[in-house]
Amino acid sequence: MTTRYHPVLVALHWILALMIFMALIVGGPSLAAMDNADPEKLTGMTGHMIWGMTIGALLVLRLITRFITQKPAKADTGKAALNTLAGLTHWAIYALIAGMVFSGLIMASSADLFAITLGGSGSPLPADLTIYPARVVHGIIANALTALLLLHIGGWAFHQFVLRDRLISRMSFGKRKPAPQTQAKQQLLEN
């Protein structure tokens, strides 16, 4: 057990956090607000699709890193229900990010968006993408993910300001010392 997550996981946590917030708050909504007949929409859509697929690739890298590196012991809030909620929230966040990427890919393939944006086929965009179920699902998951991320940030604030245990340091760079109990055990063994 260590006191921090692996630096690669820490880097991926913050890069992905930034990329996901940008897609959720800026990229996606401004794209959806544009008229599909507007030629500028193609540029925005190409950018959003590449951005979204990059998030997908980084998520796979992050999951691999998570499984092959040492993690700190599960954080303890002192309340079993809160500890379970935190664990469930983390897995649900992973699942919903994957859901965003898959629904985006399915929408793009149903509406032939790859040929129109990246392939430069010259065909117009469909007048309304909401005729595709994957587009509707993309919007619903976006709202659910936003809600979960707010809960996640609430969890951070609870640790930071109520428990005052500086949980955030586990998701930051620095020396990865063994956890305090391990250190104590080691000292006992040495004596």
Q: How far apart are CA 5 and CA 121, in angstroms?
A: 45
> Using CB under 6 A as the criterion, what x/- string covers residues 13-32 for binding ligand HEM?
x--xx--xx-xx---xx-xx
150 or 184: CB nearest ligand HEM: 150
Within 152-181, the residues that bind ligand HEM by CB under 6 A are 152-153, 156, 167-168, 170-171
CA distances in angstroms from 115 to 51, 120, 135, listed in the order given? 17, 6, 17
Hey, what amino acid is at 167? Answer: L
Site for ligand HEM in 61-120 (CB under 6 A): 66, 75, 90, 93-94, 97, 100-101, 104-105, 107-108, 113
If the CB atoms of residues 127 and 188 are measured against ligand HEM, the closer one turns out to be 127
- Least Å distance, CB 79 to ligand HEM, is 14
Nearer to ligand HEM, 128 or 190 (CB): 128
Whether the CB-CB separation of 36 and 127 falls below 8 Å is answered with yes
Residues 49-64, buried b or exposed e (16+ Cβ, 10 A)?
bebbeebbebbeebee
